[in-house]
A and B are shown apart, each in its own frame.
Chain A
Amino acid sequence: MFYPEPIARVIEAFQKLPGVGPKTAQRLAFFVLSLPREEVVAMARAMVNARDKTRYCQSCGNFSDAETCFVCRDSRRDQSLLCVVQDPRDVLALERTREFKGLYHVLGGAISPIDGVGPDQLRIRELLARTGGGSFREVVLATNPNVEGEATALYIARILKPLGLRVTRIAHGLPVGGDLEYADEVTLSRAMEGRREF
C-alpha cells in the first residue's frame, strides 16, 4: 500500500523501534495522526528533550543529569568494589536491591560479532583505565547469562586477571520465593552446576 509521503515517513520511523513491525508501525502512525496537534507536539518535544538532556556519566557510563551520576557522586559508596553491567537499566535494577554498595561500570552492550559489536564498541578501554589505577579490590562481572554476555565476561576476565585484580561472576540461580518444583529445568540445571560449598 502507498501512503502519502509524510505518513510513510512516520511509519518508517516507528519501525525503527524495537519489536515494532510494519503492521504495528502503521497502527501507531494512524493513532498519532488522530491525536490533537498539541499532544503530538508534546510527545515529539519530550523525546527530543530527553535525547538532548540525557547524558552519560563520564566515569561509569550510567545515565546521568550531570557530569557524573548519583552513584559516582556518593562518597559513602565502597570505592574498592566495581560491578560491570551491560546497560544503564541494569544499574537501576541492581540499585533497587539496595544491597550493592560499590560502584558501577556500564559497558553499553555485549560482545556479539554477528551484530558487529566487539570490545572496541564497548566501554572496555575505559574499564581498563579505571581499574588500572589499583584502587579496586574486586570486580564483579554482572553481564547477562546468555552466550554474548558470557563471552563479554570471559573477555574482560582475561584482561583484568593479569592485573592482579580479584574478578568474580554473579551467580545465576533460582528465583527466590519460587519453589524448586516450579523452576524450569534449564534454570534448575544451571543452578545445580553453580552449586557451592556449604
Chain B
Amino acid sequence: MRIEGLKLIHFRNYSQLELELDKNLNLFVGANGQGKTNLLEAISFLASGSSFRTHHESEFVFWGKKSCLVSGIVSKRFGKQTQQVCYESEKRRKIYKNEGVLVERRKYLGQLIPVLFTPEDLTLVKGQPQGRRRFLDEEIAKVSPVYEYELGRYQQIVKQRNFLLKKYREKIIGSQEIESWNEQLVLQAVKILTKRMAALHRISLLARLAHRKLTGSRENLDINYASLPTHQEGSHPEQIRQSLLESLEERKQEEVRWGQTLVGPHRDDILFFINGKNAKMYASQGQQRTLVLALKLAELEYVKGETGEYPVLLFDDVFSELDESRRRFLVETIEGRVQTFITGTEAERLGNFRHAGRIFTVSRGEVL
C-alpha cells in the first residue's frame, strides 16, 4: 500500500498542507521543532485516528482551532481510495470517511497500516513487560480487526474480577462469585493467548531471518512468549484452558491478598535471546538497536503475509543513527517495495537510497 497524497488541516503546527508523495521514499528534513514528527503522526492519525505520541487528542488540533483533519489518497493492489479522519475537540469525537462517506471506526481501521520506528522503540528490549505486550497486541490488531475488541473484553473482565477480589478480601462477598468470573476470564484468555502465540511465532521466525542478515550470521535471535510453562505455540486451546484454571486455583490466596488477577495474558512477557543469552540482561546498545530493527523488518513481512500488502514504514529520527552497513541492508530490503517516510536533521546522512525519492524541507509548519 502507498500513500499518494496527504492533506492536513489544522493538524499540530500545520495550518494547511497538501503534499504529493513519492511512492518509494520520502525524506522530511529540518531543524528541531519544525514539524517533522508531526507529519508521521498525521499518517498514523490517518490510519487509525490515534497517535504514537499521545492519548490526548486535543493536542492534535492547531492551537486556537476547534478541529483538525487529515486526509490521504491510499493506493493498493486493487485500486485507490481517499480516506480521512477529522477530530472535533469540542464534541471530542472523531469522524471517519471513505470517499467522503461516513463510516464506522471498525470498518475504517486496517485500510492503511503503518509500521513505525521511533527512538522510544529502543527501550523495548530492556523496558517494562507492558511495553512488549503492547508491541505484540498492536501488531495483531493491525491485521486482525476483531483483536482490539477481544482484548478490550478481556481487560474488562480483569477489571471486574480485580474489584471482586478486593471485595472478597474485605469479606463483603463469598468465593462463589469469583469462581463464576474465572470461567469467563479463562475463556477470553485462551482467545488472546492463541492469537498472541501464533502471531509471535510468525514474527520470531521472520525476525530471526532479518537479524541473521543484519549481523552477518554472527548472532542468532530467539523470541519466546513467556507465559505459563504449558503454553506453547501449537498447544491445544483446551490444554491452555485447563492449565489456566489450575493456575488460578493454585494462586487463589495470593490473588486475594493482592486484590489482583495474577494469571492470564495481561501478566505475560516476551523474551529475547541473542545466542542463547537473555537480551534484557546482556544486550548492548548496538545489539538492542539491531534487535529492534530486525523486529520492525519482521513486522513488514508479517503484515504482508497476513494482508497481502506491505504496510508503509515510518522512521522517526532513528534512521540516521544506524551504522552504514545496517542502513545499507535496510535500504536493500525495503527499496522499491515498501513506501518509506524518514525524518532527520541532515539530508546527506539519509542518502543511502539509489533512487533519491523526494526530499522535503520542513520549516515552521511548512513543507517545501
Residues of A within 8 A of B (CB): 111-114, 118-119, 147-148, 150-151, 154-155, 158, 184-186, 189
Contacts and interface: CB of A to CB of B under 8 A. Distances in A.
B149 A147 contact: no
A118 B168 CA distance: 12
B156 interface: yes
A172 to B, nearest CB: 13
13 contacts: A111-B177, A151-B157, A151-B180, A154-B181, A154-B183, A154-B184, A155-B177, A158-B176, A184-B106, A184-B107, A185-B145, A186-B106, A186-B149
A186 B148 CA distance: 10
B184 A186 contact: no
Contacts of B167: 113
The 3 closest A-B pairs by CB, nearest first: A155-B180, A113-B163, A185-B145
Contacts of B156: 147
B332 interface: no
Contacts, number: 46
B160 A113 contact: yes
Interface of B: 104, 106-107, 145-146, 149, 153, 156-157, 159-161, 163-164, 167, 173, 176-177, 179-181, 183-184
B180 A186 contact: no
Nearest to A184: B106
Given A147-B157, A186-B149, A158 B163 contact: no
Contact of A147 (B160, B173, B183): B160
Given A151-B157, A151-B181, A185-B146, 6 more contacts: A113-B161, A147-B153, A147-B156, A147-B160, A158-B176, A186-B146
Given A158-B179, A186-B149, A114 B163 contact: yes
A182 to B, nearest CB: 10
A119 to B, nearest CB: 7
Contact of A158 (B107, B173, B180): B180
A185 B176 CA distance: 34
A154 to B, nearest CB: 5
B177 A147 contact: no
Contacts of A184: 104, 106-107
B183 A119 contact: no
From A113, A151, A155, A185, name the one whose CB has the most chain B CB atoms within 10 angstroms. Answer: A113
A150 B163 CA distance: 17
A119 B163 CA distance: 15
Contacts of B164: 113
A186 B152 CA distance: 12
Contact of B180 (A114, A147, A154, A189): A154
Contacts of A158: 176, 179-180
B180 A112 contact: no
A110 to B, nearest CB: 11
Contacts of A118: 173, 177
A148 B163 CA distance: 13
A112 B176 CA distance: 15
Given A113-B167, A147-B184, A185 B106 contact: yes
A148 B107 CA distance: 25
Contacts of A189: 146
A181 to B, nearest CB: 11
Nearest to A120: B173
Nearest to A159: B176
Contacts of A113: 160-161, 163-164, 167, 177
B144 to A, nearest CB: 9
Contacts of B176: 158
A156 to B, nearest CB: 9
A111 B181 CA distance: 10
Contacts of B160: 112-114, 147-148, 151
A147 B180 CA distance: 12
A189 B183 CA distance: 20
A154 B179 CA distance: 10
